[in-house]
Amino acid sequence: MEKNPAARVQDHLVFGEFGGVNASIEDSSTFTFLQSSKMQELFEHEIEGCFLYSRHLNPTGNYLARSLAAMEGAESAIVTASGMSAFACTIAQICSSGDDIISSRTIYGGSYALLKNLFPKFGISTTFVDIVDLESLKRKITPKTKIIFSETLSNPLLEAADIPALRGICDETGITLIIDNTFCPMMISPKLHGAHITVYSLTKFINGASDTIAGAICGDSDFISSLRDVNSGAVMLLGPTLDSIRASSILKNLHTLHIRMQRHSQNALFLAHALTELGVKVFYPGLDSHPQHKLIEGMLNPGYGFGGMITLDARTEEIANSLMIKMQEKLVGYFAVSLGFYKTLFSSPGHSTSSEIPLEEQIAIGLTEGLVRISVGLDDDIERTFLRIKGCLEEVGLI
């Protein structure tokens, strides 16, 4: 195996219409045909290099999709207008009324709410589990189980899914393993460890500019084609189409992702160590103190570090709130949801991105009220950032 499988994204070169070094933007919703028979044929099956309508397939969106597939080591991929639509369409494609999904209980609040509140209306239920407790997970499998779903590193506690072990469980039972790898692009390639399908919010690290919402699904060619089937494809029929102008800008940003991931990780590791030394309770996969440090290390592609997300415990909701406001005043970053931006972003998950998870469930998963999730930015001088954070911690009385 090559040292760094995710580096394959750089081998997917596309030229512009006039030999430009960037892909042309195909600014069309519909495409012409020279023969009526070809149009008919395209309604029946895909024809390489032939385009029908941009909700079905757009050349620029497809460039981005193919680059993502190369990065993932997947046969194919499709891009969508959001991470949520990527996830929802994947489920809608695989599950029918009466099916059950086994999902990690520590997932992005939107994904949680989708599984818990919306899909049951269509007869698709979800059993939420502690993804770290594989024995208990196995006991929850029934003949109705179609999918096991987890995030690679969970939001916000940064617990890891043991992807090879989950795949082992799936193989015994014919279940599809879906991994949301939004927190760990390039760093971890879920496909290499056994995921059947990887979903992404491109909104976060992959685009990295916090200027747009987008998503992607990576998997084998048959599955990706089924998603755009004109009669039964969830992406084709639900219609979350990513605009070609946005696809083009995300594709350009994708080519700096490896450098950004290295810097996010480097800065986050520095802060995790420095804050721990101050006596602050920090969760970061790169710390020896993280319960799954070794498991995560074993899944990492070399060179990208442990990612840009850290969580710290500010003890109470009140302290967490004043800390975040202070950090924004002192130019540490922005008090905002989302992640993977070049600037540092922080929020309190219990009251924002995980607020869809009921309180008793939040307590069970260790999501305490004082947690502050920090998406560490690309700061040039992270020591200066640390000193600013330290000043804020002193002002709110945490140290």
Ligand X SMILES: *Cc1c(COP(=O)(O)O)cnc(C)c1O
Q: Does 201 bind ligand X (CB under 6 A)?
A: yes
Our finding on whether 208 is near ligand X (CB under 6 A) is: no
Select 215 or 350, whichever has its Cβ closest to ligand X: 215
Nearer to ligand X, 182 or 315 (CB): 182
Tell me if 103 contacts ligand X by CB under 6 A: no
- By the rule CB under 6 A, 182 interacts with ligand X: yes
Minimum distance from CB of 379 to ligand X (Å)?
21
Q: Which stretch binds ligand X (CB under 6 A): 52-60, 79-87, 233-241, 380-388?
A: 79-87
Figure out which of the listed residues 73, 110, 194, 303 binds ligand X, where binding follows CB under 6 A: 110
Residue 212 makes contact with ligand X by CB under 6 A? no
Confirm or reject binding of residue 233 to ligand X (CB under 6 A): no
Q: Minimum distance between the CB of residue 200 and ligand X, rounded to whole angstroms?
A: 8
Q: Is 151 in the site for ligand X (CB under 6 A)?
A: yes
From the list 51-59, 82-90, 229-237, 262-270, the region that binds ligand X by CB under 6 A is 82-90
111 binds ligand X per the rule CB under 6 A: yes
Q: 3-state SS of the chain? A: CCCCHHHHHHHCCCCCCCCCCCCCCCCCCECCCCCHHHHHHHHHCCCCCCCCECCCCCHHHHHHHHHHHHHHCCCEEEEECCHHHHHHHHHHHHCCCCCEEEEECCCCHHHHHHHHHHHHHHCCEEEEECCCCHHHHHHHCCCCEEEEEEECECCCCCCECCHHHHHHHHHHHCCEEEEECCCCCCCECHHHHCCCEEEEECCCCCCCCCCCCCEEEEECHHHHHHHCCCCCCHHHHHCCCCCHHHHHHHHHHHCCHHHHHHHHHHHHHHHHHHHHHCCCEEECCCCCCCCCHHHHHHHECCCCCCCCEEEEECCCHHHHHHHHHHHHHCCCCEECCCCCCCCCEEECHHHCCCCCCCHHHHHHCCCCCCEEEEECCCCCCHHHHHHHHHHHHHHCCCC
90 lies in the site for ligand X, by CB under 6 A: no
From the list 106-114, 228-236, 365-373, 385-393, the region that binds ligand X by CB under 6 A is: 106-114
Name which of 59 and 240 has its Cβ closer to ligand X: 240
If one asks whether residue 155 binds ligand X (CB under 6 A), the answer comes out as yes
Residues at the contact surface with ligand X, assessed by CB under 6 A: 82-84, 108, 110-111, 151, 155, 180, 182, 201, 203-204, 213, 215
